[in-house]
Structure 1
Amino acid sequence: MNQSSHSSEANLHAIDYWQVIKNRYGVILLTFLLVFMTALVITYVMPKKYESKAVVQVRPKTGGSLVLPGQADSGRLSLDNGQTFFPTEFEVIRAQKTLDTAIERLDLVGRWGSDVDSVRRTLRGIVDAQNIRGTSLIEIRVRYNDPKDAQAIAKAVSEAYRERRTKIQAEYAEEALDQLRRAVVAQEDVVEDKRKLLSQIIRQGKIIPEGHTPGVRGGGGGGYTADDSAEDAQRSFAALEQEKIALESQIETLLKYDGPQLMAYAAGLSLPDNIIPVLLPQFQEAKRNYDAAQSSGLGIRHPRMISQAKVLEGMEADLVEAAANLRETLKAKLELSKEQLARLEQRMNQKKDEAIKAGLEGQGYSDAQADFESAQSLLEQLKLKQINDEMAGKVFEDPIIIHEEPTLSQVPVSPNVTLNLALGAVVGLIFGVGVAFFLEYLDTSVKSLEDVERYLQVPVLAVIPKDVGVLYKQSGMSPDAEAYRILRTNIEFNRKNPEDNAITVVSGGAGEGKSTTLVNLAYICAQGGYTTLMIDADLRRPRLHTFFDINNSVGLTNYLTTELMLEDVILQTPVDNLYFMPSGILPADAAGILNSRRMSELIQDVKQRFDLVLVDSPPILGVSDASVLASEVDLTMIVVQHRKLPRNMLLRVKQAVENVGGHVIGVVLNNVDVRSDSQYQYYTSYYTYYAPAESQPIPSGSQSSASPTSPQPRAARPAKKDDKQDLY
């Protein structure tokens, strides 16, 4: 058996959910009514409670108190942080001291005749506080079974809360003011100490403050002249050092160049004693004239050319001498610059030392002055805050304002009948559906054709609808007969040997419709031309004779225990081709009688005489008779009532048949409610569609010529098994 197929049963589809609800609607309705009636009774017996409420406003502490820089105003109530403020106030309203004040004011201990702890617990249970969203209003609600007490308690609690809040705030304000006074006195001492220290530093450092405010020495924003001298020396030293570097660069270039390059570089220097810029243009002009004369055709020995050459030589000598003089001048100037730089560096270092000394003396004074001014400013702010708080304390401001006084309630607010009944209905419906599905989960009975074929490994021969009666007693062509025609056809095609015509009908328990199924199958087979014999082998509680109103005094037991002939115990029914063998007198040992050679001979004899032999038997799980019959006949058909026996019981039925050598041909799923089980509607929906109309004449065969006590022998049957008519 495939285990995965078992687990897949829990995965119901949506249509299966509706199917479960339809099948278990009785359980759902019963559970719904039980829960609903329970809610109704509980609502009825619950004590009525009346509600009274007071609406109060919580006001923050206001006034002109000064908030110091960098400090929070701890004396001010913050209503913005409602996440912590209002829950805290709710607990204050229900706190012990608030409730004790209300208890004492109303004398609830004497009125209720109980101790203080019990009264306090009762009040904590009936007093509730809620914030009106988006406002600073609080509703103080009291629910009690006496409307007058509810009103009085709500009023007493709101007034007690108001008194406690006023007292707490007044005590807190007074304590804060005392702390502020002590802080002012302490700060005054600190300011006096800072002033004395500053005076001492001024005297020791001989510092002259600017104007009326103590400051650092000197002018220009309170600085020292020594500081300015140091800065000037630093700037002069830097400028002279830059000049020295420039001179060194010029001298180095003059030494590096020669000839025309030297003249060109020297002409570009802007110096007072530099005549090269004057001589060089003259030399260049004379040189151009000399070159022009030479280009005109004059030779170098021409008197004019000789005179001009002498002039050029003189001018060139002057340029060389001017360059040499310029170099010497730069060297002298460089030496002078170095001497000045050394003297200036010495002076700059001296000024730096003086500035550092003066700065250290002024730093202590500056720090002392800053501490004094800071302490003095803080003292002024503390005094302003003290004055402001003292003035605010003289103005009384009620922290709690009662906007709505408690009223006497005329209508109870609890229990809420509509809400309770609605919840009862919803819970009852949900619980009923849950119980239905839980029962469906626990139900292991056969619910579908797939269950039978999966667990028994045998085919389902037919599905018989619910409330099918005895067909031969019904007038006209009943649509339910089609189910038995299907059963007849499936029996014919599922038996492997055509000679296997002896079939016993068994069931696991009593009341599964085994006898009715046998009678209707026999009737349908007889209508189809089969000579059919019904044997009532249920020697415990025989029922077949009741369907035909036949006397049960002579039958199977008489034949097995006496020397009666077969013709003496087989009776013909009013239906053509249908014969019946009653059970006879019930014996003491039914299993012993059935498990006899004469019973075996009987089965073999009737198999030769009739086309089909149907043997009724008692439930196979109750007694051993059915097992004996299953071993005697050719085939065994199991009748299973829909949604009755568990699956493991059906497995035992099959095993009981197979253990005695019997062969199960199939299962008939009986008593199926096709209206509630939609999965079977398609299986039976064609019965009515294909059934003959009522106006159609019903074919009826002629009555058998054989007498009731003399069944027609097999050799003289009008219809052989080889030439019987088609089943449909």
Structure 2
Amino acid sequence: EPEKPTFEEIVRNFRKNVISVTPKRDTDMIELKVKAYSPSEASFVANTWVDAYRDLNINESRGEISEVVKFLDEKLKDVKKKLTASEDTLRKYKETHQVVELTAETQQLIKQLAQFESLYQEARTDLQANEKRLAYLKAQLSENQRALVDKAAGLSSPAILELQKQMAQLIGDKAAYEAQLKGMGLYAKNDQKLMGMEQRLAGLKKKILEETKKMVAGGITSLNPMQTSETLIDNILQIETENKSLKAKTNVLRRIVMKYSRELNSLPEKSQKLARLEREATVDNNIYMMMRQKYEENRIVEAGKIGSVRVVDYAVPPQYPIKPKKKMNLILGIMVGLGLGIGLTFLREYLDTSLKSMEDVEREGFTVLGSIPIIAPQGRNNHSNKRNGEIKRIESRLVTHFDPKSPISEAYRTLRTNIQYTKVDKSIKSLLVTSAGPAEGKSTSVANLAITFAQMGTKTLLVDADLRCPVLHAIFDLPRQGGLTNVLVQKLSLVEAIKPTRIENLSVLTSGTLPPNPSELLSSNAMEKVLEEMEKDFDMVLFDSPPLIAVTDAAVLATKLDGVVLVIKSGATGRDALLRSRTLLQNVDARLFGIIVNGININNMYGSYYYYYHHYYYGDGKHRKRKGYRELV
């Protein structure tokens, strides 16, 4: 058979699994909750527990504090009457003798005398209050216990006598030092010497109490220890020790008061009479305020100890179980899901350092030459068996040729205009189009930009200077061989290498044979000579180069041209990559005309204007048949 749990185990499990006590925030109330299998059982256990706790609190909260409150209440009435009488006497004396005030020295003397007499009366009041507390505590002891405590209070030893002598001397020194400070007007509670004396005085009190306890230990043991309240006796001994200190303190303060009183008696008769009345009124007022404070403090303590537990609301049988809460669980699930989704969104946005709009670029201190919306691929399958997927995607994005009236074509024409006016004092003959990293749309941008220049009648040359991964030859359906590298190594002349396109005023110089040393070729003297010849034969020369950060080709080529245009992709190019690109161009003294923001969402780009523009062009011409590249030719 399983072993039955003990009573202590049952109580422990009951407290752990059935009862829960929770303090109410910002109040002095507690809330008791009980879990049970039936509503009536839960309310019954809760109410029984509350009643038991209240009864226990009432029995334990009563103490000696009530006696102190009664004593202070009686004393407070007497002091108030005395204060009223002394104030009336002082007022009548001033009115009768036409006296307004005393000399400064006399006022200072009265002030000091009043301070020390107030301290004296305060010590006496504390001593009398302690006597009331002692009487109450001793009344709770048996006859044998009272006899033992009375005997212990009268016990003494050489050690105790020496400690009491030191304590009296220290109290006298402390009072004298306070009188000296107050006479000089330098009294402060945080005075280092006073604080040191307080610490030494507390240490002496503690030693006297310990010695007294040692002496009465044998007597307590001789009594029946089961009937002796150790805590009660400790409290009595502590009060007795405190009373010895207070008696020594009152003796010292009384001597100081008598000293100042003698000085007061030496004043002229008229001044002496007024000074005495002033002193009595001031002392009575100080004593009244002190006793009033002590009375209120003890009343607060009494209220906190006697009958401090009150049942605000008894438990009633609940109508519904506390769990499971289906609606709450559903609501919490929705809220947590929404909160988590929103939080992840904000976190992703915070961690995302990519540049998404023209405003983001301008905030970094760059000039934005133009923004190109996202280009939807054109449905062309003419050469799907000849090109890989990347080439087909780029070829389909020559929107300035296939759809010159689209808003995207207009964006490229705006870009062309902005580039023309970046250098008004001198016409631009050569321009490098590059990007910070791969797949940001530089080849698409330079191809469409070249078409826009050609469309306005400018004799344009598009040079594929990407000697590592060239793509322009595939876009325009031209052979790669016999291009720029062949001209630089003098295998072909520039005229022989330039290939015409089926677009009027546009020629292309392909990359040619891919060399092992592209950057050395681009930085050679032959490149400068070829560039001079290009600028002589063409009105505008556009260069497509590798990404700026990946290799040094673009930086090398940028030093030889009139300027550089940097392409970034919205939502893909990071802020650090853009800043790094500017640093690389500044290191070689290249001139950066501005930034092309590529791939911007057309619906987020200045709102309804672009939406209307897109709808206007594509809505009217959506049934218009578009001809392919070869059909246009």
When normalised by structure 1's length, the TM-score is: 0.42
Rg: which structure is higher? 1
When normalised by structure 2's length, the TM-score is: 0.47
